[in-house]
Structure 1
Amino acid sequence: MSDHVNPQNADGRGRRDALRLVGGGALLAAPLLTAAPSAARAAQAAPATPAASAATRRERRLKRLTLDAFHRQARGGDFFDILADDVVWTVAAAAPGTHHGKAAFLTRGAAPVTARLSTPIIPTVRDIWAEKDTVVVHWDGEAVARDGLPYRNTYAWIWTFRGDRVARAVAFLDLVELNKLFDRVPLPE
């Protein structure tokens, strides 16, 4: 069963200064990492082992690394600093769907979006889950496009870590909203 971070404990100093976290009470099971009820009861009844404790510590560390990346983005930095150089980043249901390597993803995946924006995307994390080496982040992003209109999207990113770097990512987002941005704001020349 996944470990849930209660986002209400985060510092909410403002959009530019800190990542906004929304959501509330504890979850029994994450929507994308669901344990069967019988498995959940068995896991709760089983005594903690050193291996289970190490896994829980690892999951908490990966969630902290992920939230740190989102905090960097909210303060004007870049959450993509956490990517391994050889990351494989897949945008679900989009073309080109998979980017091999950080440089390829930043050039062909992220740049066509960010070049159409006049402000960075400010993330609002709705929730975060971790299991083993995988972290799932459900978040909303908001920015101002180069035409002065807002760009808003909702994302679910699944990051698989190797050490402290993201080695594989799968990104789900509202492609209708992304296509609206692409249709209305051309790439700069």
Structure 2
Amino acid sequence: MSLSQIIGNILGPKRAAALVFNESEFEKIGLELKGEIDRVFGRSLAIRELDTGSDNAVEIELNNLGTPYYDVERFGVCFVASPRHADVIIVTGAVTLNMAEAARKTYEAMPQPGWVIAVGDDACGTGLVRDSYAVLGAADKILPVDFKIPGNPPTPTDIIRGLLAFMTTILSQKKKR
């Protein structure tokens, strides 16, 4: 490569492929989820993520949902900074002994009715660290878990598929009342 080609590569226009979102399944499930959230809540679904001792794999996938690529807020799902603003707490990771009290306080701070979803194998009780000396166990050992989304970690599509199933569960509970 000549010096002029190198300089041209540095200073010239960049050639990058156009980013095309081509996950039709994600789009389809997301639009269904938006409809269900509107039916159940009549507004967006506010989620507070609670890490109780995870390896951050699930958090990475949850963070991916908020990126411009997935942009889950267009489907009515928003992540909030306080449990006082949350409809749902998503618990990630096995509950460690050091995080048990903080998890309880987070749940108590959430307005009722509030729901708890365990996301990932560790939070669901089937992960690798479930028998560790420093781990209390799955999220349902200390919190009333309403729904579980397994996976190590679950993909963003798996997470919104789980949220859609959760909305269906809430709707059926409302009809029973």
Q: TM-score, normalised by structure 2?
A: 0.28
Q: Which of the two has greater strand per residue?
A: 1
Q: TM-score, normalised by structure 1?
A: 0.27
Larger radius of gyration: 2
